[in-house]
């Protein structure tokens, strides 16, 4: 308990801002997860909507792991997501495929890839945008078993003392052809560990006044959660990042936005 309390205190300091109640609960759960040396308790799931502080939580965790001299590897399902993760965490990040697979034969131009040997021990593997990870292949796959999630588990668990943290937004679309994301499914994940550590962020950290996209997304999500099926009214007044446009002007508006951003 003393170690958990110390880790929690350090995470709160690394956050660099006054945390929300949800973030405090997350840091408390992270502290318990880090301090837990039971080999069966190797998996943690962190979910949260846009703007609820997942980004700052990862940054604080990375800073703490650096301070503790604990090895950590950051991953994401896509190259773009890995780049975003690298930018805000301040450390290198790879795609899951690049980290866990190796080509069976260098002579084959379109060769198959098998799960690579995991040389890391006592390492924290942190995966962002986990909602995109599938646990089934729509057809033949050149990567491992074709089941990315289980291949990831197998890779992490193939050496001692490793832990895995999956982070994602439950409001994002699941993998193609699936109704829900298996990597964010608590019941599904619980089959692979003795105890699944879990934390869910709901309180928006970013200022809703500064982002019309975030403001409208939050209002819409709340209406869905409350069972409100009335037509949604988009708010655009006072926001710089959203505006109404007619169908006739859509092409021109889209072209302008692409050129600017």
- Looking at residue 206, its pLDDT comes to 58
Instruction: Give the residue carrying structure tokens 């943290």.
Output: 165
Task: Give the pLDDT confidence of 61-75 residue by residue, as tens digits.
Answer: 999 999 999 999 999
Measured between alpha carbons, how far is 189 from 148 in angstroms, rounded to an integer? 14
Specify which residues 125 forms β-bridges with.
73, 164
- Looking at residue 156, its pLDDT comes to 98
- The pTM score is 0.84
Task: Give the pLDDT confidence of 125-177 residue by residue, as tens digits.
Answer: 999 999 999 988 766 788 988 899 999 999 999 999 999 999 999 988 888 87
Fold classification of 2-201 (topology level):
Rossmann fold (3.40.50)
Tokens representing residue 215 in the block: 């403001």
Task: For residues 180-204, give the mean pLDDT.
Answer: 95
How far from chain centre, in Å, is Cα 231?
31
Q: How confident is the model at residue 233 (pLDDT cuts 50, 70, 90)?
A: confident
Q: What does the DSSP 8-state code read for residue 69?
A: T
Please, what sign has the CA dihedral across residues 54, 160, 83, 178? negative
| pLDDT averaged over every residue in the chain | 89
Show Cβ contacts of residue 64 under 8 Å, excluding neighbours closer than 6 positions.
7, 10, 11, 14, 34
Q: Residue 107 above 70 pLDDT?
A: no
Q: How confident is the model at residue 209 (pLDDT cuts 50, 70, 90)?
A: low
**Distance set, CA 17 to CA 22, 23, 57, 210 (Å):** 14, 11, 11, 18
Q: Residue 208 above 60 pLDDT?
A: no
- Asked if residues 110 and 78 have their Cβ atoms less than 8 Å apart, the reply is no
Tokens representing residue 189 in the block: 């994940």
- Looking at residue 48, its pLDDT comes to 93
Question: What residue spans in the chain does CATH classification 3.40.50.300 cover?
Answer: 2-201
Measured between alpha carbons, how far is 171 from 26 in angstroms, rounded to an integer? 19
Q: Residue 102 above 60 pLDDT?
A: yes
């Amino acid at each position: 308990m003393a170690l958990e309390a110390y880790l929690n205190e350090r995470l709160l300091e690394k956050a660099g801002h006054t945390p929300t109640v949800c973030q405090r609960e997350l840091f408390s759960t992270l502290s318990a997860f880090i301090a837990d040396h039971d080999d069966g308790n190797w998996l943690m799931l962190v979910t949260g909507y846009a703007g609820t502080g997942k980004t700052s939580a990862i940054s604080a965790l990375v800073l703490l792991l650096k301070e503790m001299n604990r090895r950590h590897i950051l991953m994401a399902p896509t190259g773009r997501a890995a780049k975003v993760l690298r930018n805000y965490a301040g450390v290198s990040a790879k795609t899951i495929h690049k980290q866990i697979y190796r080509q069976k034969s260098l002579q084959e131009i379109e060769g198959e890839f098998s799960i690579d040997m995991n040389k890391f021990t006592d390492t924290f593997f942190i995966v962002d945008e986990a909602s995109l990870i599938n646990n089934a292949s729509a057809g033949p796959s050149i990567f491992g078993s074709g089941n990315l999630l289980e291949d990831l588990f197998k890779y992490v668990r193939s050496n001692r003392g490793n832990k895995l943290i999956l982070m994602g937004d439950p409001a994002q679309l699941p993998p193609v052809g699936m109704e829900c994301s298996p990597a964010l499914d608590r019941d599904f994940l619980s089959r692979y560990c003795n105890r699944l550590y879990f934390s869910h962020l709901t309180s928006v950290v970013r200022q809703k006044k500064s982002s019309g996209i975030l403001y409208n997304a939050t209002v819409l999500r709340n209406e869905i959660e409350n069972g409100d099926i009335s037509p949604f009214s988009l708010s655009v007044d006072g926001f710089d990042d959203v505006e109404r446009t007619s169908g006739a002007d859509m092409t021109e508006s889209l072209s302008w936005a692409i050129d600017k951003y």
